Amino acid sequence: MAAPCFLIYFIFSASCLVDGQPPKYALKGGWGFLKPDIAGHPDGILWKYNGNKVVEFNGNEQQEFSPYHSRIILNWVSAELNISELRFEDSGDYELEVHINKALHRSFHKLEVIDLVPRPSISCELMDGGGSNVSAELLCSAAPGRPRAGVAFEWRTRGDVRRGPRLHIPLGGDYDDDVYSCNVSNLLSSKEATFPAKDCYPGTLSLRRLNLSLTSLLESL
Ligand SMILES: *[C@@H]1O[C@H](CO)[C@@H](O)[C@H](O)[C@H]1NC(C)=O
Ligand SMILES: *[C@@H]1O[C@H](CO)[C@@H](O)[C@H](O)[C@H]1NC(C)=O
Ligand SMILES: *[C@@H]1O[C@H](CO)[C@@H](O)[C@H](O)[C@H]1NC(C)=O
Ligand SMILES: *[C@@H]1O[C@H](CO)[C@@H](O)[C@H](O)[C@H]1NC(C)=O
């Protein structure tokens, strides 16, 4: 009975690893580190990517395979794999086979190579509420990098924080002196851009704005 139980346990634990292993994120051009959990001194190590060999250690020496040639550091004791000069094509499923005391141990690892988030740009659309009620909508946008999803936008002004790419802002009076900053971030990087509220007034409208403040000045007298 021992053998089938062992087999079931092995299949179960192996498939658990496939499903349960969270992807490891790394920046394009940087390095990615895959860290298996093994105990004992390996007699042999084989890392594979999509079924193709990445690096193989036979107990005495290691052999590296294209396109990983001279981009990897393999730890012969821990089987940890460090891949440098990462490319998007390095994203995917890695499989490790380790021989320890003539027993084969398999594990599965996921690597996801992503871009630095691009610098955002901010645009403003005036919304005329009539009378002296002027407001605007700011839109923060960033050129689509990789990944397209998983990019978060955050607005800040005077210590106030709002999530999302759009922000409705009040204008007029002291509000025109406010400065808004938009922070775009993904899992590994972030960039920021700022926008003064007064830049919402295009050239022709600054006359109207001057008139507004003149009108309110006259009203307050
Ligand atoms: C991976 O290798 C790079 C250089 O190629 C090194 O700077 C980095 O510290 C290594 N990472 C780990 C976790 O050893
Ligand atoms: C001012 O304008 C905004 C948007 O145009 C509107 O939501 C708001 O209700 C207006 N407020 C007043 C007091 O008219
Ligand atoms: C932008 O947001 C990220 C994620 O919330 C944060 O780690 C980073 O410090 C922020 N950067 C600035 C300049 O606020
Ligand atoms: C200034 O405001 C007044 C009253 O609100 C309006 O009648 C006038 O046309 C405005 N002038 C300009 C140049 O916008």
Do 44 and 109 sit in the same domain of this protein? yes
Mutate to test the pocket of ligand 2, among 124, 133, 168 (most ligand atoms within 8 A of CB): 133
E-assigned strand segments in the chain: 24-27, 32-34, 44-49, 52-57, 62-64, 72-74, 81-83, 92-100, 103-114, 121-128, 134-141, 152-157, 160-163, 166-170, 179-185, 190-196
**pLDDT interval class at 14 (50, 70, 90):** very low
Is the model's pLDDT at 51 over the cut of 80? yes
Residue nearest ligand 3's atom 7 by CA? 190
Last residue of a domain, one of 56, 90, 114: 114
pLDDT at 8: 43
Do 63 and 108 reside in the same domain of the chain?
Answer: yes
Q: What is the pLDDT of residues 119-129, one digit of tens each?
A: 899 999 988 76
Q: For a substitution probing ligand 3, which of 154, 162, 191 has the most ligand atoms within 8 Å of its CB?
A: 154
The yes-or-no verdict on residue 9 having pLDDT over 50 is no
Q: What are 165-221's pLDDT values in tens digits?
A: 999 999 988 999 999 999 999 889 999 999 999 999 876 555 556 666 666 667 766
Q: Given 64, 81, 114, which residue is the final one in a domain?
A: 114
- Tokens 């690893």 -> residue: 17
Q: How far does residue 27's CA lie from ligand 4's centre (Å)?
A: 55
CATH of the domain at 97: 2.60.40.10
pLDDT score recorded for residue 16: 38
The answer to whether residues 105 and 125 belong to one domain is no
Does residue 3 lie in a domain region?
A: no
Contact by Cβ (8 Å): 120, 151: no
10 vs 36: CA distance, rounded Å? 17
Distance 147 CA to ligand 1 centre (A): 24
Q: How far apart are CA 117 and CA 27, in angstroms?
A: 10
Q: What percent of the chain has pLDDT over 90?
A: 58
> Of 85, 114, 143, which marks where a domain is finished?
114
218 in a structural domain: no
- Mean pLDDT, rounded, of the chain: 84
What is residue 207's predicted lDDT score, i.e. its pLDDT? 58
Task: Check residue 38 and give its pLDDT.
Answer: 87
Our mutation pick for probing the ligand 4 site, out of 211, 216, 217, counting the most ligand atoms within 8 A of Cβ, is: 211
Domain that holds residue 129: 121-201
Q: What is the pLDDT of residues 90-120, one digit of tens each?
A: 999 999 999 999 899 999 999 999 988 888 9
The CB of 215 under 6 Å from ligand 2? The reply is no
Ligand 1 centroid to residue 84 C-alpha, Å: 8
Q: Mean per-residue pLDDT for 43-52?
A: 94
pLDDT at 153 over 90: yes
- Total number of domains in the chain: 2
